[in-house]
A and B are shown apart, each in its own frame.
Chain A
Amino acid sequence: MTRTLLTGNGAAAWGGRLARVDYIPAFPITPQTEIIETLSNWIDSGEMAGRLVMLESEHSMLTAAGGAAATGVRVLSATSSQGLLYAMEMVYTVAGWRTPFVLINVSRGLSSPITLEPDHNDVLAARDSGFLQIHCATCQEVLDTTLMAFRLAEDKRVRLPVIVNMDGFYLSFTREPVELPEAGAVDAFLPPFDPENIVFRASTPTSQAVAVLGGSPYSYFRYEMHLAALNALEVYDEISKAFAQQFGRKHDSIESYQSEDADILFVMMGCFATKAKAAIDRLRDAGKAVGLLRPRLIRPFPAEHMQRLLAGKRGVAVIDQNLSIGKGGVLHSELASVLYGQKGAPPILASFIGGLGGRDISAEEFFEMAEVTRRAVDSGKTPPPRLLYNRDELREIRKLQAVAHVERQELGEKP
């Protein structure tokens, strides 16, 4: 075992290398590109076996990934944001092929306006596709999760592709100490992919992904996917135990921080949760019983696990780094559906939107969200959803608007 400094992208590449992936269909996009460049350099220098092919789009990249996985090799690919959306037809399609492979998504806000920095609207657009989704908060987790994801995808009870998500910039470009597992230990944890019947071979002619006529066969195959995804809950727990035995690091489907004795909990995904933890430490210093739950597994959603962890809590502040336009936070809706009508469910489920397009969430804002939730608990009235934005930001945007207006007037146009 070696300890080294790696970016999130570097950790993902190491995950692929240690998983001994056969095939990497690729297409560059910020902030993901470092992953495929790293893998490509290793293959070119002979440090790593495998083949990387640059496609002409993410749509083609996902098709090639599915085609190769359907032929029985281990496949890794990576994308982000607009790339994931450009590939979206194939995201749904290859999941339906039941081809097990791993797609790293480096989250980045979606156009418009076009931007580079992260939020989760990109990966959540794939929420209903049949891809399983695991969200990471540290570089170590990215590496570990990539290895776990292959085992999850390839499990006979699952056989679905998996997205491993990390936040762009904050994780993709941030160096953290990462323990690199020994190759032999990884081989013991993750044996070679046995595709069984997922192959194209001359001796066993196979039709894959054929059309169906009518709702009955269609429903059957869609239900099968759903049931396989639900199987992944149990399989995930097995895999996280096996991983902990092999490597000494446990990655539960929901990370829990200071939650046991907490009466108010933050619930959020991704690496901004580490900011929440720092805020919780200070809230604890001030004697406030606040904790954090961070679902790593988003699909399948660990509903029972979440119900158990939240049973008896007084208030929940769901912090969504995404925005379903015209509805609100996606995780908030997910939690509401999981908790409604459950015995012991927290009476207050408050919604906060923050961190869109990489906007920071400050410690003071975490304190305020905890306070708003506490007041709601005391009054018994759920507060309206909050869109985090502070006075300084508003002043800055007013300045930008003023510049835009002045320049437009300068060009002789009416303001």
Chain B
Amino acid sequence: MSETETAFRRMKDLPSTHLLGTGTPMCAGCGGLQALHVIYDILGGKTVFVNAAGCMTLLSVYPFTPFRGSWLYTSMASAPAGAQGIRDALDILLEQNRITPEEDLDVVVLTGDGAAYGMGLSATSGAMERDLDFIYICYDNEGYGNTGQQYSGATPHAARTATSKGPRGFVGYKKDLFSIWAAHKPAYLATVIGSEPVDLARKIEKVKDLRGPRMIITLAPCPTGWDFDPSESIEIGKLAVKTGVWPLKEYVNGKVVHTKKPYPRIPIEEYLRRQGRFAHLFKPERNERLLAELQAKVDEYWEDLERSSFGTS
């Protein structure tokens, strides 16, 4: 979709009121909910959200829901399989004229990174290999957030979590879920973030018009798990993009395209030092070696990209 075809060119093109109801039990400043608002505004209520265990399971607590459309909670590992059952059932009903096309729904999986990067990976892979016509939204707050931010496959190197409190923080590296998903050649795949709502809205706009597996990973700045003030959520999200830590990109027709290249990239330190989970890199003294390693990782990503594409992506 070219610039001229999008309905979302600037902030004022975004809906001024949200479709998703307010008063949910999500934490103040939840970056995942911020993204979900924009996503739901565009996808609308002709949807069934199929949820896996995570923070957002608490969006629908009997007898309340903020959704205008439908909802099914499944389990931590198998939300994509729940989507499979619903999609197949709707297709069967449509084929046999047992429901009218107006009754059809978009099937949307909603999971956290705990499910997406780990336990649910097999079910997600299966759904993509079967070319399931569905949308998958992963809100990634880089840890098992709902249980108090233990490290997960999505946790970045050196982050302090409830289970990595040593001086080096988490010793592993954040799993490249984008590449794992891209290897399945889905119809569409993108990274987004709520603090870049125009980029987000354009991507969801594309998702709405496509068929097949449409995969979205949104970084979800998490005041509770990352240890920052809720009022800073948007700023930290913007810094994730400006420092190049969270590349905004999409995979479509076999190609990866970066939709917002940070230039000039600002030092990763600006992002890290705003968050308590990285405080041990600065206090009691600066851990120069780790800081340099983290900066080098980001640099390597963007330098590799430029070398491989000569700037075309």
Contact = CB atoms under 8 A, between A and B. Distances in A.
Given A201-B103, A212-B62, A90 B78 contact: yes
Contacts of A70: 72, 85-86
B65 A210 contact: yes
Given A59-B77, A90-B78, A208-B72, A65 B85 contact: yes
Contacts of B81: 25, 55, 59-61, 63-64, 67
A72 B93 contact: yes
> Which of B82, B92, B123: most chain A Cβ within 10 A?
B82
A68 to B, nearest CB: 4
A266 interface: no
Contacts of B40: none
B67 A68 contact: no
A210 B62 contact: yes
B26 interface: no
Contacts of A206: 70-71
> Which of B68, B74, B93, B105: most chain A Cβ within 10 A?
B74
Interface residues of B, number: 47
A23 interface: yes
Interface string B88-104: 11111100000100111
A74 to B, nearest CB: 10
Given A64-B85, A67-B85, A205 B67 contact: yes
A67 B50 contact: yes
A212 B85 contact: no
Given A64-B84, A208-B70, 18 more contacts: A50-B92, A59-B75, A60-B80, A63-B123, A65-B85, A66-B85, A67-B85, A67-B89, A71-B89, A90-B75, A200-B105, A203-B102, A205-B68, A207-B70, A208-B71, A210-B61, A211-B62, A212-B61
A210 B60 contact: yes
Nearest to A203: B103
12 contacts: A51-B91, A51-B92, A56-B126, A59-B77, A60-B78, A63-B81, A67-B85, A200-B86, A202-B105, A207-B67, A210-B61, A213-B62
Interface string B220-256: 0000000000000000000000000000000000000
A197 interface: no
A209 interface: yes
A89 B45 contact: no
A144 to B, nearest CB: 26
A338 to B, nearest CB: 33
B164 interface: no
A60 B93 contact: no
Interface in A10-30: 22-23, 25
B89 A68 contact: yes
Contact of A205 (B70, B77, B80, B83): B70
A40 to B, nearest CB: 15
A57 interface: yes
Contacts of B90: 71, 200
> Which of A56, A59, A69, A70: most chain B Cβ within 10 A?
A56
B227 to A, nearest CB: 26
Nearest to B106: A202
